[in-house]
Amino acid sequence: MNDQTPLSHEARVEKLQGLGSSRKRVEDARFTQGKGHYVDDLKLPGMLFGDFVRSQYGHARITSINKEAALAVPGVIAVLTAADLKPLNLHYMPTLAGDVQAVLADEKVLFQGQEVAFVIAEDRYIAADAVELVEVEYEPLDPLVDPFKAMDADAPVLREDIKDKMVGAHGPRKHPNHIFFWEQGDKEGTEKALAGAEVVAEELISYQRVHPCPIETCGCVASMDKIDGKLTIWGTFQAPHAVRTVASLITNIPEHNIRIISGDIGGGFGNKVGVYPGYICAAVASIVTGRPVKWIEDRIENLTSTSFARDYHMTGKIAATRDGRITGLWCHVLADHGAFDACADPTKFPAGFFNICTGSYDIPVAYLGVDGVYTNKAPGGVAYRCSFRVTEASYFIERMIDVLARKLGMDPAEIRLKNFISKDQFPYHSALGWEYDSGDYDTALRKGMETVDYKALRAEQAKNRAAFDRGETRSLMGVGVAFFTEIVGAGPVKNCDILGLGMFDSCEIRIHPTGSAIARIGTISQGQGHATTFAQILATETGIPAADITIEEGDTDTAPYGLGTYGSRSTPVAGAATAVAGRKIRAKAQMIAAYLLEVHEDDLEWDVDRFVVKGNPEAVKTMKEIAFAAYNKAIPGLEPGLEAVSYYDPPNMTYPFGAYICVVDVDVDTGVVSTRRFYALDDCGTRINPMIIEGQVHGGLTEALAIAMGQIISYDELGNVQGGSLMDYFLPTAVETPTWETDFTITPSPHHPIGAKGVGESPNVGGVSAFSNAVNDAFAHKGLVHTQMPHDHWRVWKTAQRLGLTGQEAA
């Protein structure tokens, strides 16, 4: 097995397509040809269809449910209610946050769109028709939609199932509608810093409820084989192994008899991490009927009943000297979790990683307190393209820095540069408990400022403001500066688990005799390009061209146990597992090569795709030759084959960062905000595939635009969802999306095997603040300190009206 035509070193590097190569995505061939493998494409013999009866009330008592008319419809097999699930102890299910959630409403409904009954029929349209015939009688109750009133003495008690349980999963509860109180930092020291500060800036900063709204809604197909006792569920799961474990806990089916298959997923963004009632009802229906059951939600169901994001109300106080040096940070958060605490946060962090809220700044003392409360809204709190509440934390500190800058009369960029953690302070221990791995913040922001000619922008803005004041223009220019440090790679078992499952990840590699390979990973791609980038990691580590490496994910019968994909943990955790497994392969390959070349292992050096005898460049063994020998050469003391597995528990998180600058023009008479320029510099450590990074940044910035400039899931005083369809919920198109200008610096993570940090979430984390800061900056010279998101046309126009800029008095 000799390579016939020797290639040059450069040609071998190019053929390898390893780290740093802008390799085209291998996944796209099937997607662009309509050959994706989606859940709703699955058709099984005898398959039934499920659909939900949902509550039209935000808060009501169920007085009766009449199924007779629905059951009389030809083709309807059954109608399940909580009464049917109770004997199986399946009317409630555990959430990933340690709460319990009703699978089907038991006695009360707690949010509009809550699941009340599950209709099972021979046809999807028959099921939909039968849903309309299920008669549910309700006694309306007073709804609670304002989180600030959740713990009032006269507030209606929402969760009657736990009203007397005054100790929850995260400690004592202050009120029947209270979920947890979580605090971090030095409260006394922070209060002392505030009391003695020369300047204190204070603001209430709300991050509105939004929804990830993936292109594919949630759904599953459950199939129980009563002969072999095996339950197979195909679904839109971001964490297949965790779903299998939860399914086993709920159904008492042994875990080895449950197979979870997560194929192609049309976007996740955190929406598909949790377990939804549809999964449980489909599984129960299949177990009862012995036939496969499919459940696919429609768009309105997805927007109104699956996991929301954000809904954090953050009161901040920031202490500083008159010259802008920050001396302390105090923050209290009121977290609206809806009807059930269904967040997918690590057990020890009920508010996620919000204690990254000190951001990129060397703040000597800080305190954080978070109160979680129930309201009559859909449950959730997912990390919508961010890592466990990091977007909220970053938005909080970046808005607070701007508020402080305005109060001091300082430039927003200048105050950031003055307070950055310096390069020589890493590894840096924050006041709220994190150890930042590496960073060079000053270089990143200065590069961004130089690229956009920040001084010229401010000079232009000054001229614009003068012209506006003279009545020569009706448009105001805003320059938004945002700098973020994200915490990603949830994985260290010492401080990260969900329901007791440590957040490690895994890779299993098998090299075939002919030199191709298959690697199975514990994650699951939703568009990140894992099949492309993980193959590139392995190509560099093993010397096998990326084109000859197949990546498999999402099947619990074949993939090693892993905690899935969310919070930018794929590269920091699974990518590390992949690199380590590849190094195990190479270590064994080196022993085989030494045997074949009749030298000591230490006499060999690695060269792209082969081992070379030091001082004798003609004596080589390629990985292809070594792979074949592994299966047919009896090497003393070494077992045949070339396989490896790695379960990687990282020693720390990783901390990507970035500098974003946004320039907008605001028409005060219409409220229309036009994005003139958006510059995004990201530092994600070692760059695996620059082209895919660019695509990830473009996608994340587009979602940041959506959130900052229009997305909101709001409720009226009766608990009715407003914005529950794409007629009302803002998804940017090519018309609204500006041109993104991307850039980078490279600061490798010192503890990651390849130095990578992750990038998929970063643009959403930094982009939202940049947009919001730009809009607020446009009005800053008129005395405005802070306006709440989203900055849609109406709200921006109302801000201009309130400031007397529209020529009309504020209402």
Query: Catalytic amino acids?
Result: 238, 385-386, 761
- What SS3 class is residue 250? helix
Residue showing tokens 């307070």: 419
Exposed, middle or buried, 567 (CB in 10 Å: 0-12/13-18/19+)?
A: buried
Structure tokens at 431: 């006041």
Rounded Cα distance, 326 and 319, in Å: 6
Kindly report the number of other CB atoms within 10 A of residue 142's CB atom.
13
Query: Do the strands 549-552 and 517-521 form a parallel or antiparallel pair, or are they unpaired?
Result: parallel
Distance CA 622, CA 613 (A): 12
Q: Is the dihedral of CA 161, 166, 172, 176 positive or negative?
A: positive
Q: Which candidate, 317, 302, 381, places its Cα nearest to that of 345?
A: 381
Residue that has been written with the tokens 């004798």 in this structure? 616
Q: Which two tokens stand for residue 195?
A: 């009391």
Give me the residues paired with residue 646 across strands: 507
Token readout for 114 is 């809550």
Which helix or strand (DSSP H or E) is residue 632 part of? helix 623-632
In the three-class reduction of DSSP (H, G, I as helix; E, B as strand; rest coil), residue 228 is classed as coil
* Residue 776, CA atoms < 13 Å, CB-side half-sphere: 27
Percent helix / strand / coil, the chain, rounded to 5: 30, 25, 40
d(CA 811, CA 806): 12
Alpha helices in 730-792 (DSSP H): 762-779
DSSP letter at 546 equals G
Query: How long a stretch of residues is the chain?
Result: 811
> How far, in Å, CA of 768 to CA of 391, rounded?
8
